[in-house]
């Protein structure tokens, strides 16, 4: 919950990055303590849809990159309320 002029920061692992995908796929098998934690990776397009359904638009996108085909490992998104 934010003010109409507030911002929401979201970070998530990129489902299209093979390292994120593999870490999610095998991570819970090797570390049972993280099974209860949300480890789901998402694509940027999935997050765009979720934010739009919540009445938010993306204001800024930052990435955490590693040298794997220039595919971001993590997205950090600043979103704001859609002005009506």
Which tens digit of pLDDT belongs to each residue from 21-41? 777 777 767 777 777 777 778
Which pair of structure tokens corresponds to residue 5? Answer: 């002029």
Integer CA distances (angstroms), 2 to 16, 32, 84, in order: 30, 35, 16
What pLDDT shows up at residue 45?
94
Q: Which residues of 4-40 are buried (b: 16+ CB within 10 A; e: fewer)?
A: eeeeeeeebbbbebeebeebeeeeeeeeeeeeeeeee
Residue 68: which pLDDT band, with cuts at 50, 70 and 90? Answer: low
Residue 1: which pLDDT band, with cuts at 50, 70 and 90? Answer: low
Q: Is the pLDDT of residue 50 over 70?
A: yes
What pLDDT shows up at residue 31?
75
Integer CA distances (angstroms), 78 to 11, 25, 61, in order: 9, 27, 6
pTM of the model: 0.76
């Amino acid at each position: 919950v934010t003010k109409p002029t507030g911002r929401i920061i979201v970070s998530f692992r990129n489902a299209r990055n093979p390292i994120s995908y593999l870490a999610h796929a095998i991570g819970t098998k090797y570390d049972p303590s993280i099974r209860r934690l949300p480890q789901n990776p998402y694509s940027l397009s999935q997050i765009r849809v979720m934010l739009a359904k919540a009445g938010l638009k993306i204001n800024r996108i930052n990435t955490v990159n590693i040298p794997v085909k220039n595919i971001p490992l993590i997205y950090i998104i600043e979103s704001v309320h859609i002005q009506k």
